[in-house]
Chain A
Amino acid sequence: DTGVSQDPRHKITKRGQNVTFRCDPISEHNRLYWYRQTLGQGPEFLTYFQNEAQLEKSRLLSDRFSAERPKGSFSTLEIQRTEQGDSAMYLCASSPQGEGVQETQYFGPGTRLLVL
C-alpha cells in the first residue's frame, strides 16, 4: 500500500492555459474523489468515480473542468482556459467500496496550482 499519489505537486501557469493533473489511487480502491481547497478553507467536493464511471459532479465543476478515469485506475483532472480563481490545492482521495458502510477516504498530497 503506497498511498495516493498525485502529479505534479506544484504547477504554475498563465491565465488561459490548459493544465492536467494526475491521481493514482491506492491499488484496489475502486472509488476515487477530487476536491479543491482554497486558502483558509476546507476542501470542497468536485467529483467522484466508481471504477471508470463518473457518478457525481459538483456545481463547482464548470464546463472548463473535466475529469476522467478511463480504465478505472488512475484519474486525470483537466482545467481548460485557466482563470486566476482556479488557483487552489487540488486533492485526490480514494476508498474501497464498502459493504453497507461508508469507507474512509484516503487523501493524496495534492497538486498546488497557481494561475498568474
Chain B
Amino acid sequence: AQTVTQSQPEMSVQEAETVTLSCTYDTSESDYYLFWYKQPPSRQMILVIRQEAYKQQNATENRFSVNFQKAAKSFSLKISDSQLGDAAMYFCAYQGGSEKLVFGKGTKLTVNP
C-alpha cells in the first residue's frame, strides 16, 4: 500500500521569507500524481499544486513550486515571499492507479508578521 509521510508537524516562517515543506512517499507504481493541498482553519481544502510523475520538470504556480525527486520519492513544496494568508495546514497527497488520494498527516504552517 502507498504511504505518504510528512515529517514536519509544524513549521513557521517570517512574512516575505521562503519556507520548504517536506514530503516523502512510498510506492511501487511508476505512473502516479502528487499534490499539495492547503486547508486554512475552518475552511475547505484547496489545491495548491500538482505534479505528474512522468514529467521531469518541477511544477510551479506563482509563489509555489515543488522539488520532485522521483528516485528519492521526495516531493517538497517551496513557498516564496510568504504571506499571512499562507497560514494553514498543508497536506501532501499521492494518487496512483486507484482513484483515491492518499494523504500525509499534514504540516501546520504559521506565518509571522
Contacts and interface: CB of A to CB of B under 8 A. Distances in A.
Interface in A4-28: 4
A91 B45 CA distance: 9
**Interface range on chain B (Cβ under 8 Å from partner):** 20 to 34
Interface string A39-82: 01111110010000001101000000000000000000000000
Contacts of A42: 4, 91, 93, 103-106
Sorting the interface of chain A by its residue count into under 10, 10 to 19, 20 to 34 or 35 or more gives 20 to 34
Interface stretch (B13-21, B66-74, B77-85, B94-102): B94-102
A104 B35 contact: yes
B11 interface: no
A-B pairs, top 4 by smallest CB distance, nearest first, are A42-B103, A45-B100, A107-B45, A109-B44
Interface of B: 4, 33, 35, 37, 43-47, 50, 52, 91, 93, 95, 98-106
23 contacts: A33-B99, A33-B100, A33-B101, A35-B101, A40-B105, A41-B105, A42-B93, A42-B104, A43-B45, A43-B91, A43-B101, A44-B103, A48-B99, A56-B99, A58-B100, A101-B52, A102-B99, A104-B47, A107-B37, A107-B45, A107-B46, A109-B44, A110-B44
